[in-house]
Amino acid sequence: MEFKKVVLLGGGVLGTQIALICAYTGHDTTIWLRSEGSIGRTQPKVDHFSGKILEALEESKKLLGNPLGAYLYPKALIKDWEAMTEEKIDQLIGEAKKNFKDHLHIELDPDKALKDADIAIEAMSEDPQEKIDFYKKIRDSFDDKTILCTNSSTLVPSTFAEYTGRPEKYMALHFANEIWNHNTAECMGHPGTDPEVYKTVVRFAEEINMVPIQLHKEQPAYILNTLLVPLLDAGQELWAKGVADPETIDLSWRLGTGAPVGPFQIMDVVGLKTVYNIISNKADAKDSESLNHKILTMIGEKVDKGELGVSAGKGFYKYDK
Ligand X SMILES: NC(=O)c1ccc[n+]([C@@H]2O[C@H](COP(=O)([O-])OP(=O)(O)OC[C@H]3O[C@@H](n4cnc5c(N)ncnc54)[C@H](O)[C@@H]3O)[C@@H](O)[C@H]2O)c1
- What secondary structure, in 3-state letters, does the chain show? CCCCEEEEECCCHHHHHHHHHHHHCCCEEEEECCCHHHHHHHHHHHHHHHHHHHHHHHHHHHHCCCCCHHHHCCCCCCCCHHHCCHHHHHHHHHHHHHHHHHHEEEECCHHHHHCCCCEEEECCCCCHHHHHHHHHHHHHHCCCCCEEEECCCCCCHHHCHHHCCCHHHEEEEEECCCCCCCCEEEEEECCCCCHHHHHHHHHHHHHCCCEEEECCCCCCCCCHHHHHHHHHHHHHHHHHCCCCCHHHHHHHHHHHHCCCCCHHHHHHHHCHHHHHHHHHCCCCCCCCCCHHHHHHHHHHHHHHCCCCEHHHCECCCECCC
Positions 184 through 203 that interact with ligand X (CB under 6 A): none
Please report whether residue 108 would count as binding ligand X according to CB under 6 A.
no
Binding-site size, ligand X (CB under 6 A): 21
x-marked contacts with ligand X along 143-182 as a string, rule CB under 6 A:
--------xxx--------------------xx-x-----
Q: Shortest gap between Cβ of 214 and ligand X (angstroms)?
A: 17
Check binding of 110 to ligand X (CB under 6 A). no
Q: Which is nearer to ligand X, 93 or 173 (CB)?
A: 173
Among 6, 7, 8, 10, binds ligand X (CB under 6 A): 10
Among 2, 4, 13, 91, binds ligand X (CB under 6 A): 13
Residues in region 201-220 near ligand X by CB under 6 A: none
Shortest spacing between CB 12 and ligand X, in angstroms? 2
Among 126, 206, 245, 301, binds ligand X (CB under 6 A): 126
Cβ 271 to ligand X, closest distance in Å? 9
- Our CB check for ligand X shows the closer of 159 and 252 to be 159
Q: Which residues make up the interface to ligand X (CB under 6 A)?
A: 10-15, 34, 38, 42, 123-126, 130, 134, 151-153, 174-175, 177
